A and B are shown apart, each in its own frame.
Chain A
Amino acid sequence: MKYIVAIIQPHKLDEVMKTLEEIDVNLMTVSNVLGRGRQKGVTEVYRGAREVGSLLKKVKLEIACNEDFVAPTIDAIIKGARSGEIGDGKIFVLDLVDVVRIRTGERNGNAIG
Chain B
Amino acid sequence: MNTGDTAWVLTSSALVLLMTMPGLAFFYGGLVRRKNVLSILMQCFIILAMISLQWMLYGYSITFGPDIKGIIGNLDWFALKGVGGLPNPDYAATIPHSAFMIFQCMFAVITPALIVGAYAERMKFSAFLVFTILWATFVYDPLGHWVWGTGGWLKNLGALDFAGGIVVHTSSGVSALVLAIMLGKRVGTENGITYKPHNMPFAVLGAGLLWFGWFGFNAGSALAANELATNAFIATNTATAAAAFTWPMIEWIVGGRPTALGCATGAVAGLVAITPACGFVTPINALFIGILVSVFCYIACAKIKAIFKYDDSLDVFGVHGVGGIWGTLATGLFAEKVVNEAGADGLLFGNAHQFMIQCLLVAAAIIFAVVMTVIIFKLVDAVIGMRVEKKSELVGLDLTQHSESGYTLIE
Contacts and interface: CB of A to CB of B under 8 A. Distances in A.
Interface size class on chain B is 10 to 19
A57 B410 CA distance: 11
Contact of A42 (B35, B399, B409): B399
Interface in B22-44: 35
Given A44-B404, A45-B404, A11 B394 contact: yes
A45 B403 contact: yes
A44 B394 contact: no
Contacts of A43: 403
A9 B403 CA distance: 18
Interface residues of A, number: 13
Contacts of A33: 409
B395 A11 contact: yes
A43 B404 CA distance: 9
A18 B162 CA distance: 51
A9 B399 CA distance: 14
A10 B409 CA distance: 13
Nearest to A33: B409
Interface of B: 35, 188, 193, 394-395, 399, 403-405, 409-410
Given A33-B409, A34-B409, A34-B410, 12 more contacts: A9-B394, A11-B188, A11-B394, A11-B395, A14-B188, A14-B193, A32-B409, A43-B403, A44-B404, A45-B404, A46-B404, A57-B405
22 contacts: A9-B394, A10-B35, A11-B188, A11-B394, A11-B395, A14-B188, A14-B193, A32-B409, A33-B409, A34-B409, A34-B410, A42-B399, A43-B403, A44-B399, A44-B403, A44-B404, A44-B405, A45-B403, A45-B404, A46-B404, A57-B405, A57-B409
